[in-house]
Amino acid sequence: MTSTIEAPAITPAALAPTGLRLPRHLLSAGDLDRDAALHVLDTAARIEQAIGGREVRKLPTLRGRTVVNLFYEDSTRTRISFEVAAKRLSADVINFSAKGSSVSKGESLKDTALTLQAMGADAVVCRHSSSGAPQRLSHWVEGHVVNAGDGTHEHPTQALLDAFTLRRHLGELAGRRVVVVGDVLHSRVARSNVLLLSTLGAEVTLVAPPTLLPVGVQTWPCAVSYDLDAALVGADAVMMLRVQQERMSGSFFPTAREYSRSYGLDTRRRNLIAPSGIVLHPGPMNRGMEITPQVADGVGSVIVEQVANGVVVRMAVLYLLLGGEGAA
């Protein structure tokens, strides 16, 4: 494991007596300016400090609030992570998955939203296979909407937990070089990370085969390269993306083997990054495809830590969105 350095000093924004308000809904990582993003990360660090290593890993903060996990798409870690986060804050959690619900009888998103509204959901955590679904949802419910991944659009809490993990190992992110590799076209993780990390001052380079880069990528606040070896040299962190077979309708590369040869992270490539550099993956991994098991389980891999950090980051998001609900 890489050494964990001391958490960066708390920023003045976090010391503001009334705190900083987040947008009403967390739909895009781009909605957070630098102060708001740092406020979430600092709050997560404080929460981790408050519950770390103690007997009762629970806080009474959101007692009596209801958080609905509205998942129209399969998910293990995100749903469980949000569920654990809400429960650690003493909120009541209702899990809703499209399978086994009225959705299979043909109920629309709007009607489902109105049903949740009638039951008094204070926050709705939404994952949907269509880009923009949480945005639509935010017009229909009175509670706060958190985007937990919508189609190929965004996954802001994943970007926040990645930034939290990076900050822990690298310190302040300004000027740090982060290489994001793989299926950018289908990746909401890449989109949110580019937005958030550039807001925080990091230099992001996307590396992917041309077929897996979205149209208009040149307008994103990042560099683009097709040469993985060159991009990796001296990088502070490399983030591998999952090859999303389930979203691929056409053929984007000749064979899995060829993809792995050109864009997979093996031990030789891993050694090109800075000595203190770290390896991230949002999971689930296709071992042997975009990343070899040796690298995934090897030195500098923070993939398991990312999952643990996801819980405290989501606790921070829920606290900051739901805290002070009744305040003017």
- Give me the torsion for CA of 241, 246, 250, 253, rounded to 10°: 40
- Give the residue ranges of DSSP H helices in 70-199: 77-88, 109-118, 133-140, 156-170, 188-199
Q: At what angle do helices 34-51 and 188-199 cross, to 10 degrees?
A: 100
DSSP, collapsed to helix, strand or coil, labels residue 223 as: strand
Only one of the segments 52-60, 173-181, 216-224, 293-301 lies at the binding site for other proteins (rule: CB under 8 A); that segment is 52-60
- Work out whether 285 is an interface residue with other proteins (CB under 8 A): no
Closest to other proteins by CB, 215 or 327: 327
Window 294 to 323, contacts with other proteins (CB under 8 A): 319-320, 323
User: Whole-number minimum distance, CB 51 to other proteins, in Å?
Assistant: 8
Closest to other proteins by CB, 12 or 216: 12
User: Whole-number minimum distance, CB 87 to other proteins, in Å?
Assistant: 14
- Work out whether 167 is an interface residue with other proteins (CB under 8 A): no
The residue with tokens 């708390």 is 10
Binding test (CB under 8 A) with other proteins, winner from 25, 38, 39, 180: 39
CA distances from 178 to 104, 118, 123, 232, 241 (A): 41, 44, 32, 9, 13
| Distance (Å, whole) CA 175 – CA 173 | 6
The residue with tokens 């955590």 is 125
Question: What is the end-to-end Cα distance of the chain in Å, rounded?
Answer: 46
The contact pattern for other proteins, residues 10-29, with x = CB under 8 A and - = no contact, is ----xxxxxxxx--------
Amino acid at 183: D
Number of residues that bind other proteins (CB under 8 A): 29
- Work out whether 326 is an interface residue with other proteins (CB under 8 A): yes
Residue 50: enclosing H or E segment and its boundaries? helix 34-51
Binding test (CB under 8 A) with other proteins, winner from 56, 99, 106, 218: 56
- Work out whether 6 is an interface residue with other proteins (CB under 8 A): no
Record the tokens describing residue 251, joined without a space. 């053929």
User: Whole-number minimum distance, CB 208 to other proteins, in Å?
Assistant: 38
* Binding region for other proteins (CB under 8 A): 14-21, 39, 42-43, 46-47, 49-50, 54-56, 58-61, 319-320, 323-327
